[in-house]
Amino acid sequence: MGKLRAFFSKKDQKKLEEGLASTKKSFFSKIGTALVGKTTIDEDLLDELEDVLIQSDVGVATTLKIIEALETRIAKDKYLGNDQLMQMLQEEIMKLLVSPETETDSSQKELDHYKPYVVMVVGVNGVGKTTTVGKLAHFFKSQGKKVLLGAADTFRAGAIDQLQIWADRVGVSLVRQEMGSDPASVAFDTLQSAKAQGADLVFIDTAGRLHNKINLMNELSKVKRVMDKIIPEAPHEVLLVLDGSTGQNAFEQAKQFTAATEVTSLAITKLDGTAKGGVLLGISDQFQIPVKYIGVGEGLEDLQPFDKQNFITTLFSQS
């Protein structure tokens, strides 16, 4: 991830702070209320912290893990200051977050190993899936990578045209067919073109329908089988895009897609428009999938590689 992080600047850090402002304000105001007048960390305080985490859409299962870890740590000393409690809370959340750094290979090593590196992008309509593909194409192209897009969302009116607009805006090629075409056929053509053009990265945008889990599973499986025939082991990554502003609905979407296909990474979008940023923590922990990208604005460069240390530090910073 070193080369990826080098792409971002102080401007991006400011954007991250602005994007997490609503979540941070809501989170800290509730924690501050829970701590008022408290001199010891007792069961009542932990109960209040539990409520704060659940209200922040961290999720019940992950919240209980955090509270149990805090109970174990404070068993020997209940007379801890608020700063110490906050530090413990940060540390326990950090432990639960799955991130790309915990994977055997970093993103950059994967990109260097596979040519082209193929990413199948999944997610329901409306979460910012196609926009995420466009933004990913932008910043990888900005690093000198040759990027190719495949419009395999052939069922939604306007989906192909939307991706074409992004491809034109970013300045990358798009492989497309007519609406209603077989998504696997689009994937086939895209990977054939990628090999012929010597592309570094391929992003396949798939249909975002949750009409039926079995149909979704069959459709995604077919697309993957076709890709593997053209480029062995493709797709090398299955990126699930979730809308962070939907809170618990994002959990249900993650449940459906992880049941339908092997999701290997997450992109959490629209964090700038919500106080429900805690959903990122719960989904990563519950499904044990690393968060790879977060969306903190509508601009081309407002999709950032996820750094859990930076995320937690920004969320807990006093400024």
pLDDT in single tens digits along all 319 residues of the chain = 333 444 445 677 888 888 888 877 777 777 777 777 776 777 888 898 899 888 888 899 999 999 999 888 888 766 567 778 888 888 998 998 886 653 434 456 567 778 899 999 999 988 999 999 999 999 899 999 999 999 999 988 788 999 999 999 999 999 999 999 999 999 999 999 999 999 999 999 998 776 566 787 888 999 999 999 999 999 999 999 999 888 888 998 999 899 889 999 999 999 887 778 888 999 999 999 999 999 988 888 889 999 888 888 888 876 6
Structure tokens at 64: 């209980």
Amino acid at 22: S
- C-alpha 138, offset from chain centre: 17
- Closest to 151 measured CA to CA, from 120, 123, 127, 125: 120
What lies within 8 Å, CB to CB, of 89 at 6+ separation is 49, 66, 70, 316
Structure tokens at 31: 């924690």
- Closest to 244 measured CA to CA, from 272, 210, 215, 221: 272
Q: Compute the distance between CA of residue 21 and CA of residue 24 in angstroms, rounded to an integer.
A: 5
What DSSP character marks residue 149?
Answer: E
Query: What local confidence, expressed as pLDDT, does residue 44 receive?
Result: 83
Q: Compute the distance between CA of residue 62 and CA of residue 82 in angstroms, rounded to an integer.
A: 22
In the chain, beta strands by DSSP E: 117-122, 147-152, 173-175, 201-206, 237-243, 265-269, 291-295, 303-305
- Sign for the CA dihedral angle at 274, 284, 139, 164 comes to negative
How many other β-carbons are positioned within 10 Å of the β-carbon of residue 219?
Answer: 21
Query: What local confidence, expressed as pLDDT, does residue 319 receive?
Result: 62
Structure tokens at 263: 């999701």
